[in-house]
A and B are shown apart, each in its own frame.
Chain A
Amino acid sequence: MNKTDINQIELTETVGNIYADDAKMSIRNANVYYGDKQAIHDVSLDLAKNQVTALIGPSGCGKSTFLRCLNRMNDTIDICRITGQLTLDGDDIYDKDLDPVLLRARVGMVFQKPNPFPKSIYDNVAYGARIHGLTNNKAELDEIVETSLQKAGLFNEVKDRLKDPGTGLSGGQQQRLCIARTIAVSPEVILMDEPASALDPIATAIIEELIDELKEKYTIAIVTHSMQQAARVSQHTAYFHLGKLVEMGKTEDIFTRPSHKLTENYITGRFG
């Protein structure tokens, strides 16, 4: 097979269109360092409101790191340092006065491995609403739990066993529980870090369908290793390579006529 030596292709400025007409989040010149090592180089892009943006790229290219910057999850890592302008609705999310707790209530996150709390299904979904004091009484909380589970397409499967532990569900159900838990807080943006990578094709299909429905109300950024998944669920795609944003554009454009050689190699399966 004709393998392309990726090191021979020079990384230049991002090609394609990084701008969105209606940007929910805007990132300009973001650099992320782990100690002395730079993980993200000068990345700029917009997340379009009520649309799905897929972040693709080979392993270790910084997609997840980038995603975690968007709700300041990297704050928990002591050696991690971030520069650049990251805004949500025009507000700097790395503002010293902004409490990350507030940001994370607005920008929710779904992780690669389903990670329900070792509590009941009900408590899993209710947790966010409880800690933020979103409800005044039990009835309102019940309402939130039910609608969140419904939106996540899980309610019919678990409505008779809300008191059972969330960890007892199947992998796909657990991931949908995590999604329900995230949307129970009514965030504006949902970040998904390879949400279907630990799931079988059927569960994956359900999650993908769900993502498609969720974009009506939420702005979604999804990291994925599956090109098909990116093509199926997203409207915009950003291709990352070695910590740089190589190309970004409309999903159909990226997958049909990529402008950059690296993108083309990646999506045609020459490497990665």
Chain B
Amino acid sequence: MTNLENNSIKNKNMRNTDSSTTLSTTLSTTDKVALSLKKRHKKEKRFKSFGLSAVIFGFMLVLVLISDITFKALPAFHQHWVKVEVNYKNTWLNIEDSSKQSLSKANYRSVLKKSLYQMFPTTSGKKLSRKDKRQLFQLFSTNAEFTLKDTLMASPEHFNKQVNVWIRLDDDVDSYLKEGFSSGEAGLRLSQQQAQWIAQLNSEQRIESRFNVSFFTNSDSREPELAGIKGALTGTLLTMFVTLLLSFPLGVAGALYLEEFAPKNRWTDLIEININNLAAVPSIVFGLLGLAIIINVFGLPRSAPLVGGIVLTLMTLPTIIIASRAAIKAVPPSIREAALGLGASKMQVTFSHVLPQAMPGIITGAIIGIAQALGETAPLLMIGMVAFIVDVPTSIVDSATVLPVQIFLWADSPERAFLAKTSAAILVLLALLLVINVTATVLRSKFEKK
């Protein structure tokens, strides 16, 4: 203010004295602006480059993260199988006929073993020793006998015949092959004899790398070559379903009530403060609450997506309420007045004008909440969703685990092959997040168009 006044005084002086003396020392306003303009542009440029570098830095971090995970995850998406000549001899199977009943209780382990001994009759001219036999058997997945069973059950005409069957290799062999027969860490886990067998199988072109379907169709397993994410993925979907079903209507109803209906007094202020506080509570506390109240008092089943969903609802509810309230507040009051002026009841104003207008913002809030819940591990550990669960959950009260917990479990496992599985599971989690975000964007634009 004073500067301006000074300037105007100066200008006045200038006018009075005209072009006599002061012109050389006093700059005109235009010149001053031009001078400062340079400085201002510089500032703007500096800020712009700062912002741009921040964006680039963030982007690079994400890129590095994703490419690292993807690179590490790639081995998990394929798997080595080996072609084995299996002889479904009735004496080895220890059954008389090929009826379904007999086939289901036949001894496939013995078939596998004996077929394998036949394939590798001798090592360096000698008969297989006990140790050799054990080592040979170790090359194949523990699941191999079930593969044999499934194959024969599917085509019983192979009974008493010799056929080629593809079976999975053990995870150590798989890792060894993926690392290109290197004598690295994976190689160290194989004996010389085993490496020789593998080389032999490979030279006979019996080994084939296939897409790892079982990663998506199996549940968790102690054996890395069999472990899949179907169980965890289903658990996650069920848990998110419960979370969304509870937190979205509750959150929106709470926000609508607080914004549109509740009187503004000390009680509502208190509620508002507490909702904000809830949003800042460490999530593991909600897990403890779930354990103490939902499981111990109400007796709901441990490890169930239902309980997980309730706990995650507690966690996401404040996020949804806060975002929804902001969105509802942003609806112009003129719309409310217009509807009220026409004689709409409070309820009609809220549901036919306020809610549709606030919907895009509410959906964004809900997605942020759900995305948070999707990656949450700590509270679920407390309610037992960290258990080793082999079955795919079929309902919200079955025992289940979720993707982040599965990642945590696999990252903790000593087997080398779980390293890739961990990264692959992270990729699946990220993909799920992407799907949710895209759905939200589509929904948002749909509501915005209206």
Residues on the B chain within 8 Å of A73, using CB: 337, 340-341
B337 touches which of A111, A119, A131 (Cβ 8 Å): A111
Q: Smallest CB–CB gap between A232 and chain B, Å?
A: 24
- In the docked arrangement, what's the CA distance between A54 and B396, Å? 66
With CB as the reference atom, state the residue of chain A lying closest to B356: A118
Residues of B within 8 A of A78 (CB): 263-264
Given contacts A78-B263, A111-B334, A115-B338, contact A102 B357 (CB under 8 A): no
Which of A177-185, A220-228, A254-262 is the interface stretch?
A: A177-185
Known A-B contacts A78-B263, A117-B335, A117-B353; the reply to A132 vs B340 at CB < 8 A is: no
For the complex of A and B, the 5 pairs showing the least CB-CB separation, nearest first, are A105-B343, A109-B341, A115-B334, A104-B343, A128-B342
- On whether A131 and B342 interact (CB within 8 A), knowing A78-B264, A117-B353, the answer reads yes
Name A169-197 residues within 8 Å CB distance of B. Answer: 178, 181-182, 185
Which chain B residues lie closer than 8 Å to A118 at the CB level? 335, 357, 450
Neighbouring A residues of B332 by C-beta, 8 Å: 115
Binding site for B on A (CB under 8 A): 71, 73, 76, 78, 101-105, 108-111, 113, 115-119, 127-128, 131-132, 178, 181-182, 185
In the bound complex, how far is the Cα of B340 from the Cα of A71, in angstroms? Answer: 10
Rounded to whole Å, the gap between the CB of A191 and the closest CB of chain B is: 8
Q: Is the CB of A182 within 8 A of B342?
A: yes
Minimal Cβ-Cβ distance residue in A for B338: A115
- A65 → chain B closest CB, angstroms: 14
Interface flag for B213 (CB, 8 Å): no
With both chains docked as a complex, state the minimum distance between the C-beta of B158 and any C-beta of chain A, in angstroms.
67
Do B263 and A127 touch (CB < 8 A)?
A: no
> Does B335 lie within 8 Å of A101, measured CB to CB?
no
Q: Which of A76, A115, A131, A181 contacts B348 (CB 8 A)?
A: A131
Chain A residues with CB under 8 Å of B129's CB are none
Which residues of chain B come closer than 8 Å to A111, judged between CB atoms? 334, 337-338, 341
When C-beta atoms are compared, the residue in chain B nearest to A102 turns out to be B343
Is B338 a contact of A178 with CB atoms below 8 Å?
yes
Point out residues on B near A: beta carbons under 8 Å: 263-264, 332, 334-345, 348, 352-353, 357, 450
A101 — which chain B residues lie within 8 A by C-beta? 343-345
Q: Please determine whether A113 and B334 come into contact, CB atoms closer than 8 angstroms.
A: yes
With CB as the reference atom, state the residue of chain B lying closest to A191: B341
In the bound complex, what is the Cα–Cα distance between A147 and B450 (angstroms)? 26
Shortest distance from the beta carbon of B169 to any chain A beta carbon, whole Å: 62
Min CB–CB distance B49 → chain A (angstroms): 39
A131 B344 Cβ-Cβ under 8 A = yes
Of B264, B340, B343, chain A has the most CB atoms within 10 Å of the CB of: B343
- In the assembled complex, the Cα of A22 lies from the Cα of B202 at a distance in Å of 107
- Report yes or no: B339 in contact with A117, Cβ–Cβ below 8 A: yes
- A127 to B349 CA separation, bound complex (whole angstroms): 11
Given contacts A78-B263, A78-B264, contact A128 B343 (CB under 8 A): yes
Give bound CA distance, A185 to B348, whole Å.
15
Choose among A73, A76, A105, A178 the residue with the greatest number of B CB atoms under 10 Å from its CB: A76
State whether B357 touches A115 (Cβ < 8 A). no
- Bound complex: CA A78 to CA B262 (Å): 11
Contact A104 B263 (CB under 8 A): no
Alpha-carbon distance A78/B450, docked complex (angstroms) = 32
Instruction: Provide the bound-state CA to CA distance between A105 and B348, in Å.
Output: 14
Q: Looking at the assembled complex, report how far the CB atom of A113 sits from the nearest CB atom of chain B, in whole angstroms.
A: 6
A118, B334: Cα distance in complex, Å: 11
Most buried by A among B264, B337, B345: B337
A115–B335 touching, CB < 8 Å? yes
Give complex CA distance A73, B450 in Å. Answer: 28
Min CB gap B443→A, angstroms: 17
List of B residues within 8 angstroms of A131 by Cβ: 342-345, 348, 352
Q: Are B340 and A104 in contact (CB under 8 A)?
A: yes
* Minimum CB distance partner of A129 in chain B: B342
| CA–CA, A115 and B357, complex, Å | 14
Whole-angstrom distance between the Cβ of A79 and the nearest chain B Cβ: 9
List of A residues within 8 angstroms of B335 by Cβ: 115, 117-118
Judging by beta carbons under 8 Å apart, are A127 and B340 in contact? no
Please name 8 pairs of A and B residues whose Cβ atoms are closer than 8 Å in the assembled complex, sorted by A: A76-B337, A78-B263, A103-B343, A104-B340, A110-B341, A119-B450, A181-B342, A182-B342
Is the beta-carbon distance between A117 and B338 smaller than 8 angstroms?
A: yes
Which of B263, B344, B353 has the most chain A CB atoms closer than 10 A to its own CB? Answer: B344
